Amino acid sequence: MKQLLVEKYSIRLYGNCSVGVKEGVVRTALDFVPATTILGAAASAYLLYACDGSALCYNCNARCPLRQIWDALKQRELAISHFVPVSQQEGDPLKEYFLYWFQLRKRAPRKSVHAHVALNRAVKGAQQMVKVGSKSEAELRGLFYGDEVWAPPSNEFYGFLAASSRDTLVAAQEVMSFLDLAQLGGRGKYCFVEVTGREPLTSVNAFLGELSKSWDKGSQLVAAGGLAFTQSEAEQNLLRAYSLRIRAVDIERMVPRAYTDSRYVSLYELLLGNVERIYVSTTDPPPVLRIDEYLPEWSLTGMPDLKLSPLGWNRVVPVNWVKGHVQAK
Amino acid sequence: MVWYEKLGSFAAILYELRTLSHVRIGSGENIKLPTPIDNPQTRILRLEPGKAEGKWVVYIPASSLHGVLRSTLEDYMRTQLSPYDNKTVKDLKKDLENANVKNVNVEGWKSFLERVGSYSESIPGFDELPLYREVCYTTLEFDACQVPPASAAKKYYLTSIVGRMDSNEAHLPCFVCQLFGATGLRGRVRILNAYPSKETMETLPLDVITRVGINRVTGAAEEGRLFDLEAIPPGAAFYFFVVINNAFERVKLHYDPQDSQRCKEEERYKQYKEGLGVDEDLNYIALFEKSVELVSKGLVPIGAHGTVGFGNVEITELARFETRDEKTTREFIKVLTKRVSFTGNELRDELLKINEKYSQEGKDILKVKSDKIPDLDDSLYPWLARKLAELARSKLSKSQQSGASG
C-alpha cells in the first residue's frame, strides 16, 4: 500500500451475541470479533438486501462494491482489522487498539453463559441425551448446550479499515453500511448490530512514526491479534517464530460450504482458493517474532506475503513499543 | 434448491408481551446473579452509558421466545394436518427394511436404523408416532430437517419416505424449518430479548415463591424438598422486536407430481390455507403470526412450570415496518443503510417521506396498531426498533392532533 486511508468503525451489539468456537457442548466466546466475521456479516447482508446480480457471486462480472472490495482484498489494497471491545480509557484509538492485545487479562470482554435445552417435541419434556454408538459432543449440542455471550460493557467493539485509494474506501463504506442489518456471529438470529460510528483517523502518521522509532534492525516484533497462515506458508518456514503455540484449523470443517447454486460466497475460498488448512496462533500470550525487515504500516495491513493478512491477522508491532506503553500504564 | 437470496419483502415488528400468570425463565444453577434464591430468574446487566457499573434487568431471552413460537407452530401443524401417507414410525421401519437405495452401504443403513431405534426407550409409544411432511420433529435426529442431509440414508428418509423434497429431488425443509431455520439453513426470523419498559426496568418486582415436595405416604412435607424460586409476577409488560426477511413470500410447497397439472399447486395452497386457518396467503409472516396468536391465547405457556399455572402471556403487536414487494423493499432498505451518514432527524424525515409516498398507493410502510408505544431504552434495543417506536409515536401524535383539530 502506498498511501493509507484509515477509518475507525464502532459497533454496538444488542441481544445475545458471540463469535466463538465450540468446545464440548458450550460455544465459547472469543476476546474479539474477527475481521472475517465483520466482513462476512456485512457482505452477506449486502447480498441479501442490495445485490441485483443474477449470476452466482463467484462468476459474476458486475462491478459492484462487493466485487470491488473482494478484488481490493486480493490485491492488498484493503485491509480490515479484528474488532476489539471499546476502551474505557480515553486516548488515541490506534494505540489503545494495539495495547488491548497485550492487556487481555485486564481488558478481555466480560462474558456470561446462557444454557439452553431443547424440548422433546414428542414427549413435551426436556430432551434427554440419547447417545448412540460414537455420537460426538458436537451432535449433542442440538439438545443441550450453552452459549457464552458478550455481556455489557463488552457489547461495544471497534476496529479499522485501511484502504490505499478513495474508491476502495467508498466501496467498503457501501458494503459496511449493511452491517446495520446483518446477523452477526454464532447466535445471529438473536443478535442485532448497530454501527455507532465511522470516522477517518488523522493520527495514523504519528502512530506509524512512533512505531518506526521503536524498532531497530533485528529487534523483536510481537503480533497483536494473533498470526494466521496457510499450510503452504507454514511449510515455507517463512516465520522464524518462537513462543508460538499454534492451533490448526481445518477450514473444510470450520466454514460451511456455500451451496453451489448460491450467491453467497466463502471469503476463504475467494481469497485463498483451495487451501486445506489454516494455522492460527493463540493471542494470549501474543506470539513474538524476529524478522529482519519491518515496516510500521504492517500494523495496519498485516505482514506482506501472508495470505490472511488483509483479514485482521499478522499485525505486528515492535516489542519495545509495547513494553514502553504497558509499563507506562 | 434456491433459497431466499434476494429480499422481496420485509417486516420489522415491535410486540408487547404481558404476563397473565407467573412466568419463570431460569438462568441455570451455575450463573452468578445477584440473588440468594435457589432458582433465580434470568437477568441481564445493563450499564449506564460511559460507566462500567450497571444494574441487572429482568428479561425474557430471545431463545425462549423463539423456542416457544417454533414449538407452538410445530404442534399446531401436527394437529391440523395429516401425517404423510398416514405414516407412523412403525411404517418407517418397514420402509427402511425394504429400501433398496444406491449410495447407501450396509453400515450407513445400520447406523440410521440404530438412531431411529434409540428413541424407543425415551418416548412412550414411539412406534405409533405419526410422521409429517410439512413439519419435522426437530429434536428427533432422524426426522429433523438438515441442509444438506448428513448421510445418503438420511437424504433417502427425508426425500422419499416423508416427501420433503423439491422438483429436483433435493431435500426441501419442512414449513417450520423454512421459517425458523434448520441445521445448515438460516431462518428468516430474528428475535431480540424481551425487556421491561424504561419506566419499570429498575422497579419491576419479582415474586419469590417457596415450594415443598409432599411425601406421598405420610402426606407431610418431605425433608430436604423445600426450595424457592423467582418468577415474574402477572401484569408485567415486556417488549420485543422481531425482523422477518422475505416475510410475505409464499411458503415453498414440497414437490407433488400432480403440481405440473394446471392449478393443482394453487389448489394445494388453498387447502393448506384453510387447514391452517390462515387468512391472507400461506406466507411466512402468516405462519409466524399464527404462532404468536396461539401463544397469546394462553394455549402454550412460556418458560418453566407450565403445568402448574405458570407461563401464560398475552402478546400484542404495537407497530411494524412492512414492505411487500421488491421495489418498495429496496427503496426502504436504501434509506436504512444511509443511517450512519444522516445527521439529526434526517433518517426520521426520510422514512416519513418514503412512508408518505407509499401510503398514497395504499402500501403503508409504517403501521401502528396500538395507541401506547413505549420509549425504548438505547442500551437494550437496536436502532431499527427505536426508530420504529419513535415514528409510531410521532404518527400517533399527528393523528391525535388532527383528530383534535377536526
Tell me the C-alpha distance between A85 and A155, whole Å.
Answer: 7
Which residues have a Cβ under 8 Å from the Cβ of A68 and sit 6 or more positions away? Answer: A167, A168, A171
- B330 at interface of A, judged by CB pairs closer than 8 A: yes
Tell me the C-alpha distance between B110 and B153, whole Å.
Answer: 10
> By the 8 A CB rule, do A14 and B380 touch?
yes
> By the 8 A CB rule, do A315 and A225 touch?
yes
What proportions of chain A, in percent to the nearest 5, are helix, strand and coil? 30, 25, 45
Mean pLDDT for the stretch of residues B6-29? 86
pLDDT for residue A64 is more than 80: yes
- Among A72, A83, A107, A60, which Cα is nearest to A1's? A72
Chain A residues close to B191, C-beta within 8 Å: 189-190
Where a domain ends, among B120, B155, B173?
B173
Residue of A17, A130, A145 to mutate when probing chain B, most B C-beta within 10 A: A130
- Among B204, B224, B202, B203, which Cα is nearest to B213's? B224
pLDDT for residue A30 is more than 80: yes
Does residue B396 fall inside a structural domain?
yes
Tens of pLDDT, residues B287-331: 999 999 999 988 888 877 777 778 899 999 999 999 999 999 999
What spatial distance separates the first Cα and last Cα of chain A, rounded to whole Å? 32
Tens of pLDDT, residues B343-383: 888 999 999 999 999 999 889 999 999 999 999 988 889 99
Tell me the C-alpha distance between A255 and B280, whole Å.
Answer: 39
Task: Please tell me which residue, B334 or A56, carries the higher pLDDT value.
Answer: B334
B190–A189 C-beta distance less than 8 A: yes
Does residue B69 fall inside a structural domain?
no
> By the 8 A CB rule, do A41 and A184 touch?
yes
pLDDT for residue B208 is more than 80: no
Where a domain ends, among B148, B173, B198?
B173
Tell me the C-alpha distance between A299 and A255, whole Å.
Answer: 27
Number of Cα atoms under 13 Å in the Cβ half of residue A276:
4
pLDDT for residue B3 is more than 60: no
pLDDT for residue A144 is more than 70: no
Q: What does the pLDDT read at residue B4?
A: 58
Does residue B63 fall inside a structural domain?
no
Q: What pTM value is reported for the model?
A: 0.89
Q: CB pairs under 8 A, 24+ apart, for B119-127?
A: B119/A122, B119/A130, B122/A120, B122/A123, B122/A128, B122/A130, B123/A120, B123/A122, B123/A123, B124/A123, B126/A122, B126/B89, B127/B88, B127/B89, B127/B90, B127/B93
- B396 at interface of A, judged by CB pairs closer than 8 A: no
Helix and strand numbers, DSSP H then E, in chain A:
12, 16
Does residue B247 fall inside a structural domain?
no
Q: What does the pLDDT read at residue A261?
A: 56
Does residue B214 fall inside a structural domain?
no
- Among A327, A321, A329, which Cα is nearest to A98's? A321
pLDDT for residue A129 is more than 70: no
A51–B382 C-beta distance less than 8 A: no
C-alpha cell at A187: 447466535
- B184 at interface of A, judged by CB pairs closer than 8 A: yes
C-alpha gyration radius of chain A: 20
Min mean pLDDT across A5-9, A147-151, B330-334 is at: A147-151
Where a domain ends, among B121, B151, B173?
B173
Could you say which of B5, B190, B241 has the minimum Cβ distance to residue A183?
Answer: B190
Chain B residues close to A116, C-beta within 8 Å: 63, 67
- A113 at interface of B, judged by CB pairs closer than 8 A: yes
Could you say which of B124, B139, B241 has the minimum Cβ distance to residue A121?
Answer: B139
Does residue B302 fall inside a structural domain?
no
Does residue B32 fall inside a structural domain?
no
Q: What does the pLDDT read at residue B279?
A: 87
Residue of B nearest to A88 (CA): B50
Main-chain phi, psi angles of A206, to 5 degrees: -65, -40
pLDDT for residue A138 is more than 50: no
Q: What does the pLDDT read at residue A318?
A: 94
Tell me the C-alpha distance between B172 and B153, whole Å.
Answer: 16
> By the 8 A CB rule, do A220 and A289 touch?
yes
In 10 A of CB A251, how many CB atoms? Answer: 18
Q: Strands B237-245 and B195-196, how do they pair?
A: antiparallel
Confidence of residue A238 (pLDDT cuts 50, 70, 90): low
- A54 at interface of B, judged by CB pairs closer than 8 A: no
Chain A residues close to B187, C-beta within 8 Å: 189
C-alpha cell at A299: 500494523
Tens of pLDDT, residues B63-91: 889 999 999 999 999 999 999 999 999 99
Tens of pLDDT, residues B36-50: 666 677 777 666 666
- A88 at interface of B, judged by CB pairs closer than 8 A: yes
Max intra-chain CA distance, chain A: 69
Q: What does the pLDDT read at residue A266?
A: 76
Which residues have a Cβ under 8 Å from the Cβ of B361 and sit 6 or more positions away? Answer: none
B67–A115 C-beta distance less than 8 A: no
Chain A residues close to B46, C-beta within 8 Å: 152
> By the 8 A CB rule, do A264 and A42 touch?
no
A128–B186 C-beta distance less than 8 A: no
Report how many domains make up chain B: 2
ipTM: 0.86
- Chain B residues 32-61 within an 8 A CB cutoff of chain A: 44-47, 52, 54, 61
Mean pLDDT, chain B, rounded, equals 86
Which residues have a Cβ under 8 Å from the Cβ of B199 and sit 6 or more positions away? Answer: none
Residue of A nearest to B4 (CA): A48
Confidence of residue B1 (pLDDT cuts 50, 70, 90): very low
Q: What does the pLDDT read at residue B114?
A: 84
C-alpha cell at B28: 441455570
Amino acid at B31: I
Quote the minimal CA–CA distance from B30 to chain A in Å.
9
Residue for cell digits 412403525? B90
Residue of A7, A10, A12, A14 to mutate when probing chain B, most B C-beta within 10 A: A14
Q: What does the pLDDT read at residue B168?
A: 87
Tens of pLDDT, residues B107-133: 788 888 888 888 887 788 899 999 999
Chain B residues close to A133, C-beta within 8 Å: 111, 114
The dihedral through the CA atoms of A35, A37, A40, A41 has a sign that is negative
C-alpha cell at A143: 439438545
Chain B residues close to A263, C-beta within 8 Å: 5
Can you give the residue range of the structural domain that contains B113?
88-129+136-173
Q: Strands A241-242 and A277-281, how do they pair?
A: unpaired
Tell me the three state secondary structure of residue B306: helix
